[in-house]
Amino acid sequence: MNLSEREKKQILESIRDIPDFPKPGIIFKDITTLLNNPKAFKILMDHLEEHYKDAGIDYIAGAESRGFIFGAPLADRLGAGFVPIRKPGKLPFTTIAEKYSLEYGFDEVEIHIDAFSGKPNPKVLFIDDLIATGGTANASINLIKKAGAASVDACFIINLAFLKGIERLSADTTVYSVLDI
Ligand code: AMP
């Protein structure tokens, strides 16, 4: 089921724009005001549950840290497991890692090696609050595959469409974004 225009507007208007954060020229999409708005948050979570309830998702993998906030309650609603994808050095057990390039330098994401070992051929949904250039999502999806996922879908609350991040994701990834900006 699609969101009505009114519901979309409610979610969109609950997200605050912070100009020049964390550096000049960036308009930061602040989702703390969405989380703080129980009506908007519920519309969003009900919608994501409805969208994925028959998709056969075994695990939700959330990107640190805002992907955790949407991913964990959605996993609970879908009866799926939740798996954190974290910055280096945060996960306590054996990890596998994936490096990716930033404008200047590199960043890295990690996952526990046994994160998906509870199910054969698991179907995984990757979730983050926002996709910009797609670097984080692309590296995370590669990592999820390395960790043994049979298939990976991706979900974003906000897609900064002008940056074409979704085009950077592998063609076999089914992508859903709630708000295209
Ligand atoms: P990217 O790897 O360029 O797609 O950046 C996506 C990651 O950076 C996500 O984890 C976002 O939460 C964060 N991010 C990038 N740009 C913004 C923005 N304009 N507002 C809020 N978060 C952002």
- Domain extent listing, the chain: 55-180
Each residue's pLDDT tens digit, 22-47: 999 999 999 999 999 999 999 999 99
pLDDT of residue 88: 97
Residue 1 has pLDDT above 90, yes or no: no
Each residue's pLDDT tens digit, 51-98: 999 999 999 999 999 999 999 999 999 999 999 999 999 999 999 999
Q: What pTM was estimated for this model as a whole?
A: 0.98
Ligand 1-lining residues (CB < 6 angstroms):
26-29, 63, 66, 128-137, 165
Stretch 17-23: mean pLDDT: 96
How distant, in Å, are the alpha carbons of 8, 62, 64, 133 from that of 85? 28, 6, 6, 18
Does 66 participate in catalysis according to the annotation?
yes
Question: Under CATH, which number does the domain 55-180 receive?
Answer: 3.40.50.2020
User: For the chain, what is the radius of gyration of the CA atoms?
Assistant: 16
Residue 102 has pLDDT above 90, yes or no: no
Whether residue 87 contacts residue 64, with contact meaning beta carbons closer than 8 Å, is answered with yes
Q: Which of these is catalytic: 16, 86, 98, 103?
A: 103
Helix (H, G, I), strand (E, B) or coil at 161: helix
Q: Phi/psi class of residue 56: alpha, beta or left (left: φ > 0; alpha: ψ in -120 to 50)?
A: left
Ligand 1 atom closest to the Cα of residue 27 is 19
Per-state percent for the chain, helix, strand, coil, to nearest 5: 35, 30, 35
**Burial call 60-98: b when 16+ CB within 10 Å, e when fewer:** bbbbbebbbbbbebbbebbebbbbbbbeeeebeeebeeb
Cα–Cα distance for residue pair 145/85, rounded to 1 Å: 13
Cα–Cα distance for residue pair 49/134, rounded to 1 Å: 24
| Amino acid at residue number 130 | L
